[in-house]
Amino acid sequence: MKSVKLTVNGIERHFIADEDRVLLDLLREDLSLTGAKQSCDRKGQCGACMVIVNGKAVLSCLTKVSSLDGAQVITIEGLGTPDNPHLIQEAFVLAGAVQCGFCTPGMIMASKALLDTNPDPGKEEIKRALRRNLCRCTGYKKIIEAVQLAGRFLRGEITPDAARPSLKEGIMGISHPRPSGLAKACGTAHFTADIRINGALELAVLRSSVPHARIGRIDSSKAESMPGVVGVVKASDITGTNILKYLRADRPVLCGDKVRYIGDPIVAVAAETKAQAEAALTFIEVDLTPLPVLDSPEASLAEDAPQLHDEFPNICLDQPQIKGDAQAALQESAAVVEARFQTQINHQAPLEPEATAAYWEGDPAADEDAKLVIIGRSINIHYHLGMLQEALGWDNMSYREAYSGGQFGIKLDIISEGIAGAAAIHFKRPVRYIPGLTESMLMTSKRHAYKMDVKLGADAQGRITAYRNDILVDKGAYYSIGHVLIMRSLLMLSGSYHIPNVDARARLVYTNNPWGSAARGAGPPQVNFALECAVEMLADKLGMDPLEFRLQNSLKPGQSKSTGRVVTEWPLPELLEAIRPHYGRAVEEAKNYRNGPVRRGVGLATGSFGIGGPGDVSVAAVELDPDGGVSVFAAAADPGEGNDSMLLQLTAEFMGLPFEKVRVHTRDTDYTAASGPAAGSRITYMIGSALLDALSQLQSAMNETGAKNSDALAVAGKPSRYLGRKRNEDAGPLDPKTGQGPSFESQVHAVQMAEVEVNTESGEVKILKMTAAVDAGTVINPQNLTAQLEGGLDMGVGYALREQYIAGKTKDWISFKFPTINHSFDVETIIRETPRPKGPMGATGVGEMCMVPTAPAVINAIKNATGIWICDLPATPDKIKARAAALQQEK
Ligand code: FES
Ligand code: FES
């Protein structure tokens, strides 16, 4: 122990601290200064914990309290508050650099340390200062711009008031700051791990280290006698079904009979502190009898393969898609290309680890109907609440969504919530389950790996004639959204193009690999990678310009997609024309780098992404308030996309209200309408439309009665609350034999261009610039739109070049190869607005589209630079180097 005096945010403090205690824990636990976050198991990899000590930005997770005697410490809370923010905090909000906000306090502290010593830093100096800070949402562009804007504020060149859009400029199409921006920038937005609960037990969970085994004896007696341990929870202690059923009842809260992948949970230990729970974990003995490991879809489909789930065959789905006669058309084609494409299992990589807090309203020991409140990061709180009630056998529950540090599909499934809830019920106490990064990676769903055998043909005039794609998808151990993934792949199989003949088959197969679920795009990024690379190969074979080839084959209104559905709008050609001058410039520039080991290339890819799935339904409620303002009630999670802004701006515009009179409530099952998941890029299109329906009902009542507030409406005998609905007319599944049938109600379109530099000796690829032309309908908030595009491009490049999840090996942000600010690249976005007839005020959605064309654009650019096709993602330096060497030998 050591006696340490230090000053935190101007207040002198005195602590007696363990030699090993780190500053992050002291700030968060002893001083409740939870603005500093942790994302990397205190390994110094994320920068979310950054604070300033004696004028320097330091990682508080690596800074020993014992070394800080006499130190001056400043945390994010010491800079400003939402009512009185620091200029740097204002700059981050106004530059649109705050999305989920989990990285933001650390980013701001690193920026402050820089600007304190260098008031006018250049881009490279900013990158150097922020090199230790990770962000998954923004792609770093707006963060660099925020630091530049902060510099201008601090130098007195411009004020925040001058930079802030005014209501006089209008509401729609204006980049009004997101409502949660300042709370996130000032560290007052609470994420789940920031929430302390008096008397809460802390959990640690024993997980399988093998991919397939039968569970025998579990001996927890030693662990249960350890200091602070209250007990353990096993599958047999759970009184509900113990199954977290999304679409199929196959994933247990805790495994009882078998483990089916590396990371499956077996036993939870509850103790008074997390350290005690973790210490006890090592004393639990579990007999695991190894079972044959099905490590690929092919292994699972073998005749003698064991069945992974007793109730379900290994093949989850086998769905064909037949349009016209592809076989005959391919035979008659003037040119045909053929290739196998593969994509990797990938982690969605939100910066915030999984976390759940659970507490009781009422005393569960005395009252069987006490209410269990689960706090977590769900993006589908009502549906997940039902899953928890069934799995845990407790009816009186609520789900509250805390601020969420990104999700990108990972929270379409609940994970830690089940275990925390089970422990809370078992011990009748509040519980916190705050796993670290490695455990979060183990427990969560992943992006599915695809294998695709493709043939694409065209006639002598360069018109695509036919497409075959035999798709084999690794489902991993559990079904989750299962067939939805396959349907999305087939609904968008033909991408942006008119393809008259299609013969596809998509098979989804259980394996002992990590289980797949939603992951930004979920299906279309994989199939579009294959299609767009094949399109490039075919243009190459025909000797046609890739842009002209795409333009010629673009779908047109009146033509049909691979599902047979005829489209009525298709503004893709305009986007290709918009990118044409950029493409011409890039191709000319790349010509100067055609010889030598370092070469430049240009690649194009398109994407046409469905919005508003067949049969999708959503609701939103609105209520007129006593002061004439409007409250919106919709479970529209906003883990960073800007959904709060969308609800706010649509309501203010429709009702003619100032922002302060619009109150948006989205986070609690107790008072929101069940609006469906914040997934599939559906929030703006579906919930925005339901909101407008509710608002128009309210406005009709107000017009009819002349009422201006809820009291006046009541006097007139009218309700003040209205429920709006949005139901897509096209509904039902694809035909099981032909894959023909209903489709999405709208689309968002994009063309992306990658400019790359490839070192053929080292295999390294540098992205010089990404250009994205997008038509997402009417733009509600341009800054939120470009923020999605920039972040999506960054994620798409990571998917193309680096990222991969390997069970048992990918354990942190270094082994995951998380994209840093040093990987960031120039981005240019071109926005076109074709209002969508059925979208809210003409809008669609864009959250997933922004990465759908990215990987093929990058791979096509690598081919353009080097002549090498990388058909299996990621395109790592090793692969490129090996293929460049092989190509050299062939010559
Ligand atoms: S928690 Fe300190 S760097 Fe990640
Ligand atoms: S805003 Fe940076 S991680 Fe989300």
Ligand 2 pocket member 99 (CB < 6 A) = yes
> What residues contact residue 347 under an 8 Å CB cut-off, 6+ apart?
441, 444, 446, 447, 803, 805, 810, 816
Residues of the chain with pLDDT under 70: none
| DSSP count for the chain of H helices, then E strands | 25, 28
The per-residue pLDDT for 595 is 86
Catalytic residue among 77, 417, 439, 848: 848
60 within 8 A of 36, measured Cβ to Cβ: yes
838 within 8 A of 689, measured Cβ to Cβ: yes
Ligand 2 pocket member 135 (CB < 6 A) = yes
Written in H, E and C, the secondary structure of 216-278 is EEEECHHHHCCCCEEEEECHHHCCCCCECCCCCCCCECCCCCEECCCCCEEEEEEECCHHHHH
**Which ligand lies nearest the alpha carbon of 62?**
1
In this structure, which amino acid lies at residue 589? E
**Which ligand lies nearest the alpha carbon of 110?**
1
490 within 8 A of 501, measured Cβ to Cβ: no
848 tagged catalytic: yes
Q: Which one, of 745, 791, 803, 855, lies nearest residue 641 by Cα? A: 791
CA of 219 to the centre of ligand 2 (A): 42
Residue ranges and CATH numbers for the domains of the chain are 2-78 (3.10.20.30), 87-189 (1.10.150.120), 194-293+355-443 (3.90.1170.50), 567-609+746-891 (3.30.365.10), 617-727 (3.30.365.10)
pLDDT in tens, 419-474: 999 999 999 999 999 999 999 999 999 999 999 999 999 999 999 999 999 999 99
- Name the residue at shortest CA distance from atom 2 of ligand 2: 135
Helix 524-542 to helix 483-491 angle, to the nearest 10 degrees?
Answer: 30
Helix 141-154 to helix 87-94 angle, to the nearest 10 degrees?
Answer: 140
Which ligand 1 atom minimizes the distance to the CA of 50?
A: 2
Tokens representing residue 422 in the block? 């089970």
The per-residue pLDDT for 888 is 82
The per-residue pLDDT for 153 is 98
Burial (CB count <10 Å: 0-12, 13-18, 19+), residue 287: exposed
Relative to beta strand 2-8, strand 72-74 is: parallel
Q: Which one, of 261, 258, 208, lies nearest residue 515 by Cα? A: 261
491 within 8 A of 734, measured Cβ to Cβ: yes
Q: Which helix (H) or strand (E) holds 360?
A: strand 356-361
**β-bridge partners, 777:** 843
420 within 8 A of 395, measured Cβ to Cβ: no
Rounded Cα distance, 663 and 630, in Å: 6
The per-residue pLDDT for 42 is 95
Tokens representing residue 203 in the block? 């959990």
> What residues contact residue 811 under an 8 Å CB cut-off, 6+ apart?
437, 438, 441
The per-residue pLDDT for 368 is 87
CA of 40 to the centre of ligand 1 (A): 5
Ligand 1 pocket member 530 (CB < 6 A) = no
Ligand 1 pocket member 458 (CB < 6 A) = no
The per-residue pLDDT for 730 is 85
The per-residue pLDDT for 68 is 97
Which ligand 2 atom minimizes the distance to the CA of 103?
A: 2
Q: Which one, of 346, 426, 416, 421, lies nearest residue 389 by Cα? A: 421
- Name the residue at shortest CA distance from atom 3 of ligand 1: 44
pTM reported for the whole predicted model: 0.97
Ligand 1 pocket member 39 (CB < 6 A) = yes
* Residue written as token pair 């007839």: 837
Q: For the chain, how far is it from start to end, CA to CA, in angstroms? A: 69
Rounded Cα distance, 548 and 556, in Å: 15
Ligand 1 pocket member 42 (CB < 6 A) = yes
- DSSP, collapsed to helix, strand or coil, labels residue 337 as strand
The per-residue pLDDT for 174 is 97
